Chains A and B, each alone.
Chain A
Amino acid sequence: MNNKYIAITLAVIIIVAAVVGYLAYAGTFSGSANTTPTPTITPTPTITQSPTPTATASPTASPIITPSPSPSPTPTATYAPTSLTVFAASSLANVIANMSTTFQNQYNCKITVNSDSSSTLEQQILAGSPADVFMSADTKWTTALNNAGLLLNNNATTFTTNKLCVILPPGNPKGITTMANLVKPGVRLVVAAPTVPVGSYTNTTIWKIQLTWGNSSNPQYVSSGAYVNYNATFYGNVKSYETTDENVVGDIGLNTGSYDAGIVFISDWAYANMTGSPVQFMAIDPAVNTVGNYGIAVIGSTITGGTNHANMAQIFMNYWSTTDGQNLLNKFGFGQ
């Protein structure tokens, strides 16, 4: 066969493959552009039955379109179609993905999530990125935006918390049951680097343990001395610093014997658990645990779609303070 024809055939195949790939990605074939896998959790929040999104937790002055309490089978008829861009801390991406379809059906409002580290998102919003709602893993970032005058009604709310936990490989081969077990010789730990949030929280908790349980002049001192010099012994057992929570979960869940314990957020463990990871859970005493307060706010400066748009952002924000919202957060490991 002539080389020219082979070349032309190959070029055609490549072009066809590229076009098919593009069309498939754009959703022409699959019928849906949203390919994000969302874990199905039952029962999903049934907002239909609680038509009072005005939560008690957020005393806001803005008027809110209250959905009519009539059991209409097509609630979308009540609302003009709109869409919200939610800037959310990475840890919240899964829980939002879980409620967004129900929310869209209920309020005729499409949720688009931009998830990244909270500090990055705050910088983006400050720089004028079009965010409608900001959900931060630390209230310090919602406060910062409030100070910059970017929030609707100067209103930011703390809507949930997150805490650290210890995760163990299936079967817990080293028999770890206490924080003291983590610093025994030969125990191999994997944690997040102190430069990422979960690693910084871990560092805080390790210091708290040394300064309370490991400090002989503290009333909470543990007389066995297991926690004396805890910071040095703990980090002496660390065999790897990961750059994301997911990597820590993966290192433990792979169960290759490389690591005997890791520290992540409870929400990390909850999500790993519901997606089938075999990692085991060990709670950390609230006395030494580090709590992250999650803040939510509607960005007033970039709400451009008129009253309906702003009201929908407010309804979305208020959802998280409802019983349904709180129950959903609890399922995903928050607020515990």
Chain B
Amino acid sequence: MKSAFAKSLSDKIIIAILILIVLTYFLFVVLPIMAVFLRIEPSQVNAQLHNAAIIEAIKLSLFTAGTATLIALVLAVPTAYFMATRNFHGKAVLDTLIDLPIVLPPAVAGVALLYAFAPRGLLGPIFNHFGYILPGSTIAVIIAETFVASPFLLRSAKTGFESMDRDVINSAKMLTDSRLRVFFTVTLPLSLRAIISGAMMTWARALGEFGATLMFAGNLPGVTQTMPLAIYVFLYSDPLAGVMLSIILIAIAFAVLITVKLLEQKRYGAKK
């Protein structure tokens, strides 16, 4: 048997080691991000915010990421509801397939989109028939962002639908014959937080999309050059502009993640 003193000493050592590990990890993550902020003088920020190339990239990014999120809402939320409420053969496989874009290397996502939608891709003949070529167009950016980012919304919405109290839905179903009415008046409001936090994750991921966009859509200022692509190009020629865009992206990512965190705290807090 250890004495009480030895026990408390070994506890203290363990806690000290734990704190050391936490600090090391925290610094490891925060230091590189801080390093970006230190690369620009506060006096230079204003000039960079009036840099036409930066504004063009920001506008394009906001437009494409916003559109991709809207498309994801239309496609992923109903799918999430279906997956959360039905059981069928091969559901796990389908579920995994839809999640795949989250873990695909960007180059794989890019080449997959090319092989599907480029002029000599699977659906190429259809687009060629209407005289439309996707690569090199803003639509291609939106497709790439939707492909890569929408699974975040799907996952979050599915969890939201799954964690709902079935009794509430069943009671609601007794009051009306319209499934659609139940969905819009009970199901949706109850899972709204999950959907909003999922949509925000999707939006943030779309905003940061780089590899698939570069490969599938290309890099053309004003047409396909979103913020991450502009950062990559600027770092060769105009590092200050690249740093400014990086800071904007970091700030947006931080704001989105902390909002999602607060929303989720409320969601789980309500259950307790």
Interface residues of A (CB under 8 A from B): 188, 190, 193, 195-196, 238-243, 247, 251, 254-259
Contacts and interface: CB of A to CB of B under 8 A. Distances in A.
B236 A193 contact: yes
Given A240-B220, A240-B224, A258 B237 contact: no
B218 A256 contact: no
A242 B119 contact: no
Contact of B119 (A240, A251, A256): A256
Contacts of B218: 190, 239-241, 251, 258
Contacts of A259: 135
Contact of A240 (B133, B219, B232): B219
Given A238-B220, A241-B221, 16 more contacts: A188-B133, A188-B136, A193-B236, A196-B236, A239-B136, A240-B219, A241-B233, A242-B219, A243-B233, A247-B214, A256-B135, A257-B133, A258-B114, A258-B118, A258-B136, A258-B218
A193 B133 CA distance: 22
A251 B220 CA distance: 14
B232 A243 contact: yes
Given A190-B218, A239-B220, A240-B136, A256 B121 contact: yes
Interface of B: 111, 114-115, 118-121, 124, 133, 135-136, 214, 218-221, 224, 232-233, 236-237
Contacts of B118: 256-258
Contacts of B124: 256-257
Nearest to B121: A256
Contacts of A254: 111, 114
Nearest to A255: B120
Contacts of A188: 133, 136
A332 to B, nearest CB: 25
A259 B219 CA distance: 13
B115 A256 contact: yes
A241 B220 contact: yes
A50 to B, nearest CB: 41
Given A254-B111, A257-B119, A258-B118, A195 B237 contact: yes
A195 to B, nearest CB: 4
A254 B220 CA distance: 19
A10 B137 CA distance: 46
Contacts of A256: 114-115, 118-121, 124, 135
A259 B115 CA distance: 14
A188 B114 CA distance: 15
Nearest to A189: B136
A239 B119 CA distance: 14
A312 B133 CA distance: 55
B219 A241 contact: yes
Nearest to A190: B218
A138 to B, nearest CB: 16
Contacts of A251: 218
A188 B224 CA distance: 15
Nearest to A238: B220
Contacts of A243: 219, 232-233, 236
Nearest to B114: A256
Contacts of A196: 236
Contacts of B220: 238-241
B233 A195 contact: yes
Residue picked from A193, A240, A247, most chain B C-beta under 10 Å: A240
11 contacts: A193-B233, A193-B236, A239-B135, A240-B220, A256-B119, A256-B121, A257-B118, A257-B124, A257-B133, A258-B114, A258-B119
Contacts of A247: 214
Interface hub of B118, B121, B124 (most chain A Cβ within 10 A): B118
A257 B233 contact: no
B219 A257 contact: no
B110 to A, nearest CB: 10
Nearest to A186: B133
Contacts of A195: 233, 236-237
Contacts of B119: 256-258
A243 B234 CA distance: 10
Residue from A193, A242, A243, A257 whose CB has the most chain B CB atoms within 10 Å: A257
A258 B135 contact: yes
Contacts of B236: 193, 195-196, 243
B136 A257 contact: no
A195 B114 CA distance: 26
A325 B118 CA distance: 42
B187 to A, nearest CB: 34
Nearest to B124: A257
A256 B140 CA distance: 14
Contacts of B114: 254, 256, 258
Contacts of B237: 193, 195
- For the complex of A and B, the 5 pairs showing the least CB-CB separation, nearest first, are A240-B218, A257-B119, A256-B118, A239-B136, A195-B237
A276 to B, nearest CB: 17
A195 B237 CA distance: 6
A281 to B, nearest CB: 20
A247 B136 CA distance: 15
Contacts of B221: 241
A190 B220 CA distance: 10
Contacts of A190: 218
Contacts of B233: 193, 195, 241, 243
B133 to A, nearest CB: 7
A36 B49 CA distance: 43
Which of B111, B214, B218, B219 gathers the greatest number of chain A CB atoms within 10 Å?
B218
